[in-house]
Structure 1
Amino acid sequence: MNQRSRSIVVVSGAIAFLVVGVVAIRAVAELTSEDPIERDFTVVRDESVGGFPRNGTIGAAVEALGLPTARIPGGTNQCTLTWPSRGITMETFFGNVGNPCGVKGNHVSTTVTDKRWETDKGLRVGDPAARIQELYPDAGSASSDGIVEIFTRDFSGLPLPSLTATVAKGRVTALTLYGPRRGF
């Protein structure tokens, strides 16, 4: 074997070793994924969803939930973020001039629709509507559009929803956590 052939064999071996190493590292990374949403599909009272606090920003959402699939500006200073594979839609608002989909956007509401989501008391998306009253006896009745207020918080003397369940065809189809009110 001449010098050139030997060099080709050595380089080919090094490339093969490198490829095997990269594949092994990726396989280990998949098994030890630190994707936070994989660990937390819980809505805690009217305080957090998947570890994201109700008073959080888009930056905090990305930190807690990972990068959204889409950031869609809409309306005046509004943005919709989505994580479809996790059943999450978040509405945000940024009152200042700037990017409403930027890291400083303020949380308005987060709706979860995937059946993996449940409250800390055990109400799951997909549960029968009657389960709401079993777990939350102080919850209101469903409105004409199927919204049940589970928790409310006062804002300027008005009780406004802070956690709701959406009911359709006798089942919970969504849970929505509302952020702090910032004025009218």
Structure 2
Amino acid sequence: MRKPSGEAGRKPGHKPGRKFGGVAVVLVALFALAACGADAGDGKGGAGSEGAAAGAPVTAAKWTVSALLDQGRAAPLPEGTAGRAYLTFDTEGKVQGRAGCNVFHGSARVSPSARTVAFGPLGTTRMMCTDPEMRLEREVLGVLRGTVHYRVDHGTLTLTAASGAKGLSATAG
């Protein structure tokens, strides 16, 4: 018996229109895991962490960028970008977050004695967003390069480029 047109070569149990079902499930699972990984860490701190607020380590907070620094002076974030950029450090020497538009991840060694964070190369997604979000992203990623100085004071993390010219402030929470 001849199969109706369009059914030749299909495997038994094949359901039309479900070609990408398995791929979609895998993608949803990966995004869910990535979202869980962006949480505030385990709160244990460990070597290389500094208090975020009342003895809490840097790794115990999600740091939301609240200001950009230019020559040590705070400048407001581009309009409409409040809360769009954040970063988290884990106890394994990794950093991840959102730079304004795209998410990023990479290595970050925190040295409390030198009060520095040594950032390795960061991987990012490559979406295009609004101009203010892209400006914020360029500024944030510009700070998260090489070794930067850090300070934590009353729940605010300040990262300053080695040159002292650029930096950012981020609040815990």
TM range (shorter): 0.3 to 0.5
Flag the structure with more relative contact order, 1 or 2, with Cα contacts below 8 A and sequence separation at least 6: 2
The two structures have a TM-score, normalised by structure 2, of 0.33
Higher helix share: 1
Greater gyration radius: 1
